[in-house]
Structure 1
Amino acid sequence: MMKKTLAMACLIVSAHSIAHAQDWKPTNSKIMTTWAEQITPQNVHREYPRPQMIRQNNWQNLNGLWKYKISSKEDKNLPKTFDGNILVPFAVESALSGVGKRINKDQALWYSNQIEIDKKVNKGKVFLNFEAVDWQCDVYVNGQHVGQHEGGFDAFRFDISSAIKKSGKQDILIRVWDPTNEGPQPRGKQINNPHGIWYTPVSGIWQTVWLESVPETFISKTKQTPDLDKNALLFSADIQGKKPGDEILIEAFDKGQKIAEIKSAVDQSAISLPINNPKLWSPNSPHLYDLKVKVLRKGKVIDEVSSYFAMRKISMKKDAKGIQRMYLNDEFVFHYGPLYQGWWPDGLHTAPSDDALMYDIIKTKEMGFNMIRKHIKVEPARWYRHCDSIGMLVWQDMPSGDLGGNVWDMQPGKITSDKHDKDRSPESEAIYRKEWKAIMAQLHNYPSIVIWVPFNEGWGQFKSKEIVDWTIKNDPSRLVNGASGGNFNAPGHIFDIHNYPDAAMPSPELYGSNYVLALGEFGGLGLPVEGHTWQQKDNWGYQTFKNVDELKKKYSGLTESLSRLIPLGLSAAVYTQTTDVEIETNGLMTYDRKVIKIPADELRQLNFKLYNKELIKQ
């Protein structure tokens, strides 16, 4: 009898899973990745989404099938009927959403879900977390408006404790408005009319949605900054609901062994945790320490989170020839890596899985690169965790927006004047400042990030000196590449030109004594691979080749050119690009990641020559 009951239960569960699977399937995509074939509504992005501040037992993943509706922007009434199912966290335009529809500035996108909150979560304060929603997002719980957020690339959350029922199903309703390139907001490469280097729009939820419970007194955020000169980790925390006498305990561990701890009052603004004989983080040795942070009240643990950190230093100083160089842990390291768009043929902004997210980094490392320029997009937090663990330097761009109106002088090495900056509206400027500040705060704790890039190629570039100076002041622990290939009236620490396809550099005589010299983009060598392109013909690259041998010969020549420029003062170069993206076929891999155009081991042999420290002595 027991066996029959168990068999019947398994049949019911299996039938339920099949029914849900039948409610969703990818829309017709031009090409798909291998990981897309493994997705079900039950297994989509189930990983804990916030690796720098973990409460492992107090969370609930809400990814999966939701209802959706596309309505008029003017219709603010909460909908009661819906158009169908959408697979969260994939954008409505993507194949993996199961919808594959575009929306415009005159429309709103609604999401609806009925959930039961796990018992482990339905206690204390309950937060509804969104890792990213593009762009304006209003959230309702059981008919109550709990908050609005604007910003397509930063995580946010709302306290829904007062809106949830004590038991039973909870109604969650989300309204999204996204004007794409018809608004002033940061958007990166999205455009309503995709063409050339501009890609399909991404609207709505595109990263994990989840619940978290915390006690009345809880750790809201932490800030961790390595100080290699003092052999210490500088630490601060935002504690909500703290009471007089509460303490904070910080413990550092190296492979399970406690190496340091410090206890202080919760209202202390800055804490220095000594790290004796630190093991340094670098691409060759990406050593990470574990961290535990606890709030104590009369010796009792009130709240606890786990995190991690690394001991590393990025700086600039002059070499023996008087040219500014970039130093990692007080040693010159040539930064060389690809421009990484982070786009996917099936998920657009969203990788089909965490394994896919990690794959691009692993392959980049295998190809012999030590850096990635994260181009005008912010990745999920787990992507930065993978860079930290695998050992990859990251240059992080601010997503651009509000384009047009700039005068952009592409002459390599020429500094333009302030009049070339865009005159942005007060609304546009406020949106930029708010989101850039939020992005830098959100990503501060990831040691792989060594460079901030506030502007790219003059796209929406405004008040350059003011923004660059503000970025430097906001985070003095990193270098700032003020305008990668843009208007050079405020280079920050790095003078960065773009030059396609061949390698070039800013004039060391003119700029080398004041700035680190970088080639922020070059290459763009195209090779369309039949059966793996976004469209059958009219694909594009800065220079297109007919076969792998031609491509490899040209790439080899580019690395030879770099090896001659490094002794002259070049400190970094960014090759375009990691993968093909839509009609761009200038990737090292195809858009579906199924073909690596030049074998990784051959690329590694070519690239490793650039890290020879003897080059700087020539």
Structure 2
Amino acid sequence: MKARIIRSLVLLTIFSGAIAQDRFADIGTANYQTREHLLAVPEPIEKDEIYLPASHDPSAIFNMEAPVSTKEQLYHELQKIRKKYEPFTQDLAPEFENQRHRIALNEFKWRMETQDDIQDFVSILSGEGDWENVEIPHYGPPLGRAVTYYFKEVDLEESDFHKGSLFIHFKGVDYKASVFLNGRYVGSHEGFFAPFEFEITDVAKVGKNRILVKVENDYSTTGGRDELGNKVVGDKIYAATGPGYDEPTEGWHHCPAGMGIYQDCYIESRSPLHFNDLFVRPMPADSIAEVWVEVNNYHEYPKDISLELSIYGQNFEETIIESLNYVPSTVHIPGVGDLDKPTDWEKTRLKMGYGVNYLRVPIKLESWRTWEPGSPWLYQVQVKLLNEENQVVDTQSQQFGMRSFEMDTVSIPRGSMYLNGQMIRLRGANTMGHLQQSVMKKDWDQLRDDILLAKLANMNYLRLTQRPVQSEIYEYMDKLGLMNQTDLPLFGSIRRNKFAEAVKQAEEMERLVRSHPSTIMVSYINERFPNAEGHPQRSLSTAEDYYKLFKALDQVVLLSNPDRVIKAGDGDYDPPSPGLPDNHCYNLWYNGHGLGLGEMYKGYWQPVKEGWYYACGEFGAEGLDPVNVMKEYYPQEWLPESFTDRSDWNPGMISRAQSNRFHYMWYNTPETVNGWIETSQNYQAWAAKFITESFRRDPRMVSFAIHLFIDAWPAGWMKSIMDVDRQPKKAYFAYRDALEPTIITIRNDRWQYWEGETEKFEFWLSNDLNQSKDYILKYQIRDEEEIVFANQSPVSSPVNSASFKGYLNYELPTVEKRGKYTLEAILLDEKGNQVHQNSFDFVVFPQTSIPQSKIAFVKPDHQLSKQLVSLGFILSKKLKEADVILINDFKTYQTNERLINRLVKEGRTGLFLNLEAGEYNIINTEVVVKDTRMGKYYFVSPESNHPIAAKFQSKDFWLWYDARSTSIAPILGNTISAEDWTPILYSADTGWRNSGQRSLAAAEYKYGVGYFRLSTVNLAHKLINPSALLYLKELLSH
């Protein structure tokens, strides 16, 4: 196969309009100048000439099973999977005495900073002014550069000081927090996701204590807009996802960079000698669980300590070790070339110095239960801290799992991943706020169910998109066996002055997640752009800059966890980045993004580093919320007067919804709200199936994640496949089916045929299991009434890969009228149980007669003329003798305008084909032809009520086959605006810059007793599609 040529990429300036949500559409359609000489385009997998039996065997006829397709059926399965995983959520480890005392800080007074506050900070420290009572967690506006204050008075008793030290602890504050106690500054922290604490022993007092937390927000390093609409790049390390807040216009949506104390906070009394952190590094290859213990010493002088360690089964009853005593000690190793000293090779006891001390205790395991998604066995380490008097002064426990996760970066192709030594492919979804909201509400049942709903969809991981999340989410993922990728919150670029802060936050991220077996990978930046998206004066702008950043991030992450698998970039617009290549692909929503539909469907992928597997971290399309969600939550101004009657309502009424703008590229305009919901969800489901099955057929695609799983808010980001009330959209079931471990898929680049044609349908078997199995593949073709063909063949699954199983060479039947056919397939195991089923719809057309009217070109076109003659059209060399004048060159038309206009007025048909972008005057009417803004379209709408359009069905102008490229190809590169003309085919002048203005793909103007027609539908190499030829036939009708 000839190498596909990488088209040249041009740097586009990001539009700085006022539609905030359309930043993401902008990203989806922009091309950037990349270092393409370092990249190669993966080509389709070579197929052997294998043919399946094609004779009719009535004994092979089968019945398709009705799949799970309703919320009721899904929730019945949810009940069963709850019971399956309930044992893994138990805590069966022995009870462990807590040496600490905690005072929860659940309520504060809150207000935004005023000018008076700036001039009189002392009054704020005293709690003066007007405050609003808020509960913690608290999150929301103001956005951008802003300051808010939280004030609280807390009574402390003498007993609160008996332990020896007092700390104020915050599990997460967005974004910069400065903490004051009793008018004294006690510390600051930057970053929204990491826990932090400050010692307050010397500042606190018995009785009333005043706490003030100053919280500062900023515009993010990703960028935002100020009140004047200016693009602003700030210093806040925040990407584009968060928990959101309950405000329909802004807070519900993807995703305002709000602020606040959004996780728990408390005052805690503890010993000056206490644990700072506890991490168990699983090392199954060495049969070791290495316990990393951090001990703080806030005594004035160094102290001797000892540890007592126990390891138990957490969700099963077992004692691994109990009360193992460990005394920190070391050996003095002489330096090379140094003088001999009396202390050489002397073993000494280690004293804990002031601040944090780091210890490692390797524990040999004779046997263990492995953590894996189907059986997430967990252990619990319990550690006691003993002082010099052998008294227990602190205790701490930590759940952990014995598992390994590795990425092979040596063997070529690089990038294959292994869980517990077995190859695994990551199949999952992106998340944005729904899990975080469950934690903020302390709705643990919902958190559990959300994770199980992912597993029910056959996902094995979630991308915790563009941000680390609360620790409780990781704990539940550990217990329920769902892997995750956690992202550092960088998007696009990072401010140069925040290099060191990013390194600090990368360490905080790894320390947050390293104890959790569910976290199998971290990522650093989402959708990195070249040249800092046109702001090199503000941010890192070259690949060399980012390689330095990635190296620094790697060092600090691996220092905290030597076994961490790292994917530097997720959705790389400036490839290559270190490690596994990852590209996002929204080509079924942001048309033109990534690569063409036909190329992807055929087996190509975007340019990546040679010698590597690859990933797709985001793909998807929008599906609207159902009616009950709209009625329950939407503001009145978003809603129609009627949900069933025809109306002018469209999804553009919904804040930040994209369906009205972009649907013109994909489907016809519905007439009712219910129609919009049904059509958008049908399309979303089709898109999910189309893309996912394409990925499953490509064994080089080792990881992908649909965008998005569950909406955190009504209409939040309706690419979600499940709405805010956890009602599955149709795409949920489509995705679930495409993620079955072993699937059969049917592929063909055409879906329209003429009767009597012989077509080759491809059958592919994709298997994510690490074993091969033998199956029976049954396949049949049914028309609208009965089975017309059936047969079967034995097939074997590849080991954790995909393979081509053969062509079905089938002669299409003779038909009197167009008919719908479905090629169905099922996969049966050795016991006759159905493993998977699939289908492929196609249409067969009867042969058509070609009109005998004469056609003349205004300018000779030998290639088109030859094609028309081969199809049976009659050509004339003279305009005056023609019935139809094909105007294929506008300048030539202008030269002969008077003659052509007269002939049309007398009854001829004048057809303008493929006018280039520009403004035209045709018979004193204004015609404007524009290039499509978001790539070339694969669909135009025939729902115009024009007699020509009435002869076609709603999806006839959709996914046409191109005979030259032998693949699906776009059919529309220009749209028409012509107010005085009658529409034949509709499209739209749509894009991220506007709300989507309906325009035309074809139009007609009656002139005298004849007609002028305009069409920008690209028919070149497409007349093999019956709809294309029938359309041309109608255009040339006289």
The TM-score, its normalising length taken from structure 1, stands at: 0.77
Mapped to 2, the partners of 1:510 and 1:588 lie a distance apart of: 29
CA contact (8 A) 1:281 1:288 kept: yes
Does the alignment pair 1:260 with 2:260? no
Q: How does 1:574-589 map to 2 (within 5 A)?
A: 574-580=705-711, 582-589=715-722
Q: Following TM superposition, by how much is the alpha carbon of 1:482 offset from its aligned partner in structure 2, in angstroms?
A: 0.8
Q: Give the 3 Å change call, closer, same or farther, for CA 147–553 of structure 1 in structure 2.
A: same
2:203 pairs, out of 163, 167, 180, with 163
Deviations 1:160-216 (A, max 9, x none): 1112222x3322111111113352121222799959974233112111112222112
Secondary structure in 1 matching 2:363: strand
Secondary structure in 1 matching 2:453: helix
The letter of the residue matching 1:264 is Y
Mapped to 1, the partners of 2:251 and 2:132 lie a distance apart of: 29
Q: Give the 3 Å change call, closer, same or farther, for CA 365–190 of structure 1 in structure 2.
A: closer
CA contact (8 A) 1:501 1:525 kept: no
Q: Following TM superposition, by how much is the alpha carbon of 1:352 offset from its aligned partner in structure 2, in angstroms?
A: 6.0
Mapped to 2, the partners of 1:455 and 1:438 lie a distance apart of: 15
Higher RCO, 1 or 2 (CA under 8 Å, sep at least 6)?
1
Q: Following TM superposition, by how much is the alpha carbon of 1:130 offset from its aligned partner in structure 2, in angstroms?
A: 0.6
CA contact (8 A) 2:490 2:525 kept: yes
Q: How does 1:276-291 map to 2 (within 5 A)?
A: 276-291=366-381
Q: Give the 3 Å change call, closer, same or farther, for CA 510–231 of structure 1 in structure 2.
A: same
Mapped to 2, the partners of 1:349 and 1:92 lie a distance apart of: 16
2:476 pairs, out of 364, 386, 392, with 386
Q: Give the 3 Å change call, closer, same or farther, for CA 490–61 of structure 1 in structure 2.
A: farther
Does the alignment pair 1:301 with 2:392? yes
Partner of 2:216: 177
The letter of the residue matching 1:584 is W
Secondary structure in 1 matching 2:583: strand
Deviations 1:301-357 (A, max 9, x none): 232111111111111238998554111111011111111112589x69945634444
Q: Give the 3 Å change call, closer, same or farther, for CA 103–512 of structure 1 in structure 2.
A: closer
Mapped to 2, the partners of 1:373 and 1:122 lie a distance apart of: 43
The letter of the residue matching 1:77 is V
Q: Give the 3 Å change call, closer, same or farther, for CA 302–230 of structure 1 in structure 2.
A: same
Deviations 1:43-77 (A, max 9, x none): xxxxxxxxxxx985634353533211212373433
Q: Give the 3 Å change call, closer, same or farther, for CA 477–323 of structure 1 in structure 2.
A: closer
Q: How does 1:471-550 map to 2 (within 5 A)?
A: 471-473=553-555, 474-475=557-558, 476-489=562-575, 491-501=577-587, 511=609, 513=611, 515-532=612-629, 536=638, 537-538=651-652, 539-540=657-658, 546-547=677-678, 548-550=681-683
Mapped to 2, the partners of 1:198 and 1:454 lie a distance apart of: 20
Does the alignment pair 1:454 with 2:505? no
Q: Give the 3 Å change call, closer, same or farther, for CA 372–190 of structure 1 in structure 2.
A: closer
Deviations 1:242-293 (A, max 9, x none): 8554212222112343213543334474321122222111111111101101
Which deviates more from structure 2 when the two are superposed, residues 202-211 or residues 121-130? Answer: 121-130
Deviations 1:413-444 (A, max 9, x none): xxxxxxxxx6x33x322222222222222222
Mapped to 2, the partners of 1:467 and 1:55 lie a distance apart of: 43
Which deviates more from structure 2 when the two are superposed, residues 468-477 or residues 157-166? Answer: 468-477
2:264 pairs, out of 200, 208, 212, with 208
Partner of 1:596: 728
Mapped to 2, the partners of 1:553 and 1:489 lie a distance apart of: 30
Partner of 1:436: 506
Mapped to 1, the partners of 2:604 and 2:584 lie a distance apart of: 10
- Give me the identity figure in percent: 18
Secondary structure in 2 matching 1:491: coil
Partner of 1:37: none
CA contact (8 A) 2:278 2:396 kept: no
Partner of 2:133: 85
- Number of aligned residue pairs: give it: 531
1:470 pairs, out of 536, 542, 552, with 552
Deviations 1:506-534 (A, max 9, x none): 86996463x44211111234233235356
Mapped to 2, the partners of 1:330 and 1:438 lie a distance apart of: 28
Which deviates more from structure 2 when the two are superposed, residues 189-198 or residues 227-236? Answer: 189-198
Q: Give the 3 Å change call, closer, same or farther, for CA 237–501 of structure 1 in structure 2.
A: same
Secondary structure in 2 matching 1:385: helix
1:563 pairs, out of 666, 686, 696, with 696
CA contact (8 A) 1:219 1:305 kept: yes
2:182 pairs, out of 129, 139, 142, with 142
Secondary structure in 2 matching 1:312: coil
Mapped to 1, the partners of 2:554 and 2:361 lie a distance apart of: 22
Mapped to 1, the partners of 2:586 and 2:606 lie a distance apart of: 20
Q: How does 1:401-420 map to 2 (within 5 A)?
A: none
Partner of 1:189: 240
The TM-score, its normalising length taken from structure 2, stands at: 0.47
Secondary structure in 1 matching 2:702: strand
Secondary structure in 2 matching 1:238: strand
* Root mean square deviation, CA, Å: 3.4
Mapped to 1, the partners of 2:102 and 2:521 lie a distance apart of: 34
Secondary structure in 2 matching 1:362: helix
Secondary structure in 2 matching 1:495: coil
Q: Following TM superposition, by how much is the alpha carbon of 1:393 offset from its aligned partner in structure 2, in angstroms?
A: 0.9
Which deviates more from structure 2 when the two are superposed, residues 549-558 or residues 223-232? Answer: 549-558
The letter of the residue matching 1:530 is V
2:515 pairs, out of 427, 431, 445, with 445
Q: Following TM superposition, by how much is the alpha carbon of 1:114 offset from its aligned partner in structure 2, in angstroms?
A: 1.8
The letter of the residue matching 1:496 is D
Partner of 2:1007: none
Q: Give the 3 Å change call, closer, same or farther, for CA 120–332 of structure 1 in structure 2.
A: farther
Does the alignment pair 1:114 with 2:158? no
The letter of the residue matching 1:87 is E
Q: Following TM superposition, by how much is the alpha carbon of 1:394 offset from its aligned partner in structure 2, in angstroms?
A: 0.8
Secondary structure in 2 matching 1:523: coil
Q: Give the 3 Å change call, closer, same or farther, for CA 320–489 of structure 1 in structure 2.
A: closer
Partner of 2:1009: none
Q: How does 1:226-265 map to 2 (within 5 A)?
A: 226-241=282-297, 243-254=302-313, 255-260=316-321, 262-265=324-327
Q: Give the 3 Å change call, closer, same or farther, for CA 363–120 of structure 1 in structure 2.
A: farther
Which deviates more from structure 2 when the two are superposed, residues 573-582 or residues 373-382? Answer: 573-582
The letter of the residue matching 2:624 is L
Mapped to 1, the partners of 2:489 and 2:406 lie a distance apart of: 24
Q: How does 1:350-429 map to 2 (within 5 A)?
A: 350-351=440-441, 353-400=443-490, 424-425=495-496, 427-429=497-499
Which structure 2 residue ranges, 5 or more long, are not aligned? Answer: 1-95, 221-231, 329-349, 351-357, 533-538, 589-596, 639-650, 667-675, 743-767, 771-798, 804-1038
Which structure 1 residue ranges, 5 or more long, are not aligned? Answer: 1-53, 94-101, 407-421
> Which structure: larger Rg?
2
Mapped to 2, the partners of 1:240 and 1:615 lie a distance apart of: 47
The letter of the residue matching 1:570 is M
Which deviates more from structure 2 when the two are superposed, residues 157-166 or residues 350-359? Answer: 350-359
